[in-house]
Amino acid sequence: MRSVSYLDDLIAAYGRSVALPWPRSLAPGQRIWMAVYPPEQERRLRLHVPAFEEEASKHGHSWAQIDLTDSFETWTADHPYRAEYFKAPELFASALPGFFEHLIESVGAQLAAHDSPDGVVALLGVGSLFGLGEAVKVSALLAAVSDAIAGRLLVFFPGDVENNNFRLLDGRDGWNYMAIVIKPDGGRR
């Protein structure tokens, strides 16, 4: 198990990234920062989110947050067929593409509302998408909303990355993504 100082080191690595000049000509996908941390550090990370905001402010960047943690539950609670889904949970699989479209619209709208080219939008709770099947993938979400990123999107990513192959919650299947990796051990490329 990694030490508690992992998060202090992650905040320092993020601070170095946020302090660098921000070229305006980057492609949308290159405006995504992936702060990678061990899944067992999730609770501690959430306690330290204000430190990430402080680093952004210290370097003149605005801050906003999007939290996906309860997005599926909120969507389900408002779904007209929720009672049927609870009676037969296997039917949820057919509804997941609708949830994913809702998620894309919601995150895209929140990113558009924070349209400062000098701002950081933090995306929390991506781990809550784990296990929802092939219809709901973090990589597809990021690809779908990347055009709405005006400044930088800081994705708090509980998992691992090796050679740009990201594994959410250390799951077996990963994906290759060209975001900027922020890790204490120099994972930033």
Domain residues of the chain, as ranges? Answer: 5-18+30-182
| Interior/surface letters 121-140, b for 16+ CB within 10 angstroms, e for the rest | bbbbbbbbbbebeeebbbeb
C-alpha span between 76 and 184 (Å, rounded): 37
State mean pLDDT over 129-141. 82
pLDDT band at 3 (very low <50, low <70, confident <90, very high): very low
| Nearest alpha carbon to residue 96 among 70, 129, 123 | 129
Percent of the chain scoring above 70 in pLDDT: 89
Taking 90 as the threshold, does the pLDDT of residue 20 lie above it? Answer: yes
Which pTM was predicted?
0.89
Structure tokens at 115: 């349209």
Q: How far is CA 114 from CA 24, 58, 72, 102, 163, in A?
A: 16, 19, 23, 19, 31
> Class of the 5-18+30-182 domain?
alpha beta
| Nearest alpha carbon to residue 107 among 146, 50, 135, 53 | 146
| Nearest alpha carbon to residue 182 among 34, 4, 30 | 34
Percent of the chain scoring above 90 in pLDDT: 53
